Each structure stands twice: as C-alpha cells, then as structure tokens.
Amino acid sequence: MAMKSYPLEKAFTFIEPGPVVLVTTYNNDNYNIMTLTWHMVLDFTPRIALATGPWNYSFDALLKNKECVLAIPTVELAEKTVCIGDCSGKNIDKFQKFGLTALPAKATKAPLIAECLACIECKVTDYLEAQNFFVLQGIHAWYDDEHKEQRRFHANGDGTFVTDGQTLDLRQFMEDKLPFGCK
C-alpha cells in the first residue's frame, strides 16, 4: 500500500484524539462549563495546554481568575458533552440545563463535575495570545474509582468521535521512562 496525498486542512484529525474534556470556570458568582478538544499534555507534573479564545464565554473567566477544572467525561456523557459545547453559558446555567452536579474543589473556585470520571484542578500559568493557548498547571487531581464506565471518547474533528477500546499494557518496554507513581 502506498501513501497518498491528504488534504492539509484535515491533517489535524490524525493527531486530535486526546479525550474530550469539560472545562469548568467561575466568574461573577456563576459556574460555567465549556467542552474542549484542543489540549495537550506538556509534561508529567502535569502541565497542560489548551486552546480557546474570546469567542468562548469561559475565556474571560480564565484570564481574570487564572484557574479552571478539567473534568474528564466518559462515553455515557458523550451527547451531553457535545450539547454543552453547542450553547453558551452567557445565556444559560449549563449545570442545571444538563443535569450535572457541581462539587466544591479543594484549591479553585471552579467546581468539579460529580458525573465525570476524573477532574484536575488547574491554575493558569501563562497565556500565549498569538496562539490562544493557556498553559495550565495541575494542582489537585480527583478520580472516581467507583465510576462504572471507564471509556473516554475522542473527537476526530469532523463531528465524529471514537471511544477507548482495549488497553495494551506495554510498560515493560519503558519502565525506566515512566514517571514516579505510574510504575
């Protein structure tokens, strides 16, 4: 089989499949939730970058308060997660509209989402305006070990999604490179 040219404007769909996340923020006594697929892990501490801009209602809260929570939904929340990203928190309370539970976080005013598998409280450490990148530092992580569904879902960038499948455990080949706590 030979490689064939592929439209450059679609090339990002090969890289995109990180898990879809829900970003919670707090601003002016209101919570908000934003769906996000444009993010990447920068290191093991964890430092995470996300891309968003002034077109999103959560943008001002991220700039002003310099904090958020990254909540990781699983496949049973896929439709809600997509619908959350299709409306603005400027006009509605997304927690109420989508029947989600805001839980208090340990170190941020932005809430955790009880229905998610995991949540990472983050502080904004940098904003790269030209790229619309926020650099986040995780400061506290939460995990629901009783959450029955574990499969996350990933955006392909074209309105379709894939879900996690079988996990391959290949740690034996990279044990010397795994961060402390992952061995």
The residue extents of the domains of the chain are: 19-177
Q: How far apart are CA 51 and CA 37, in angstroms?
A: 9
Q: How far apart are CA 175 and CA 182, in angstroms?
A: 9
Query: Is 19-177 a CATH 2.30.110.10 domain?
Result: yes
Which residue, 112, 101, 87, is CA-closest to 34?
87
Output the pTM of the full model.
0.90
Say if residues 127 and 121 touch (Cβ distance below 8 Å): no
Residue 78, classified by CB atoms within 10 Å of its CB into exposed (0-12), middle (13-18) or buried (19+), is: middle
Per-residue pLDDT of the chain (183 residues; tens, 9 = 90+): 666 777 767 766 665 668 999 999 999 889 999 999 999 988 888 899 999 999 999 999 999 999 999 999 999 999 999 999 999 999 999 999 999 999 999 999 999 999 999 999 999 999 999 999 999 999 999 999 899 999 999 998 888 999 988 878 888 888 888 777 776
Coil, helix or strand for 119?
A: strand
